[in-house]
Structure 1
Amino acid sequence: MPTDHVLHIDASARPGLSGVDPHGSHTRRLTRRFVDRWRAIRPQDVVTYRDLGRKPPSPVTGEWIAAAFAPADQRDAAMRAHLAESDHLIAELRRADLVVIGAPMYNLGVPSPLKAWIDNIVRVGVTFGFDRNRTDDPYWPMLPPGKRLVILSSRGDCGYEAGGRLETFNLVERSITLPMSYIGITETYGVAIENDEFADDRLSASIAKAEAAIDTLVQELAGTPLDASSHTGSREAADL
């Protein structure tokens, strides 16, 4: 069986896991479950972990923009330094066959560290191309094809799903899927925990439903039955 590369990203400001730690993160709980079950099926795969909540990427600045839009052969040492973190994050993404993102809903959108990550990896001439002379479609994706994206979210209320009463208020999935599709990742899956604000049987039921959905999704994407007794695998730690 060939080896794949999984990029596991957490963005929650809460460091622990719900159900384990006081005030722990639901999304960290979901990403941990997903990756543990993936490794049970595919122990040969490599997992790179990036904790954006603990170590947020640098936000885009004017100097970053100037460096990114300068021709590569005209960048000086300072410009290259401004882009070094972006280069590293893009290299991680390029290696990944599967990207698993824990994205809690903060004020209807994604946490600011996750937005900073997106801003660092959506970069002209590197992950998307631009040519003003192509009048029909001046933009095109530049990531290698075949990557898959899993978004694991959590929400305080319910009804944010497609067709739900609060669908138009949900800026989480779209703020990830749109820029990711822009650079070439179009195959996307998602699971979410809802009703966190109520902290009652509705939350418990939502957690159980989300965890069952993750187990099914892992089996679907990995393509083989789950053997929960095995949890070994290769793991890279990136900026833990």
Structure 2
Amino acid sequence: MTNTELLSITKKLTVLYAEDDLEMRKSTTALLKNFFSHIYTAFDGREALEIYNNNLANIDLVITDILMPHLNGIELTKEILSINKEQKFIVISAYNETSYFIELINTGAVIGFLQKPIKRQELLNILTTASLFYKEEYETTIPLKDGFLWNKELKRLFLEGKEIPLSANETKLLDLFLSYPNTVFSAIDLHIYLFEDTKEFSEDSIKSFIKRLRKKIPLSSIQTHKDLGYSLSI
């Protein structure tokens, strides 16, 4: 998607942005103004919820920090979803807040995650993904490197028209990575996502899943982040 195509979508959208840090709120709002014509800002979750309730029909996308006073990002997300279950979110976090990812992913409402400090290219990548939710024609396949294709509806991987066999857990893991590209998930995050509380955590087990999955997808797609976890780049 070109920048012109992206702007033709985002400039029509209205955003609610919640962040308690004043300087971060100012700098990110300035960045968002490059993409959106209408932006509501809130200094905490409680004010964000009040703004949302007063402008329910106008807000297309909610961008929220996780750690905020009075009402944190998770609580805000749940409160808004109780009002509008179709609402979409982008969540901003610090590196030490990734433990919240799975809980937010399970809401089914989060389009993507951004980590502080926010970089323009990372925001551009997330907004490109987000814009697909607002296109009239929503594409069902994600093109990967080296000619691979991921069908989001069927949850199947293809190369040159032939399906690449994946186990149930490999499918679940790849679907998670592709739903949130460039997001770093810790080994514990991945364990909880795959097994919930039904199996004792083993980092070696997660490493084994990653190793097997790497053999079936484009080379270097899954990145290892030392002491942090894993991410996938498209």
Greater RCO structure (CA 8 Å; 6+ sep): 1
TM-score, normalised by the number of residues in structure 1 = 0.27
Quick check: which one's helix share is greater? 2
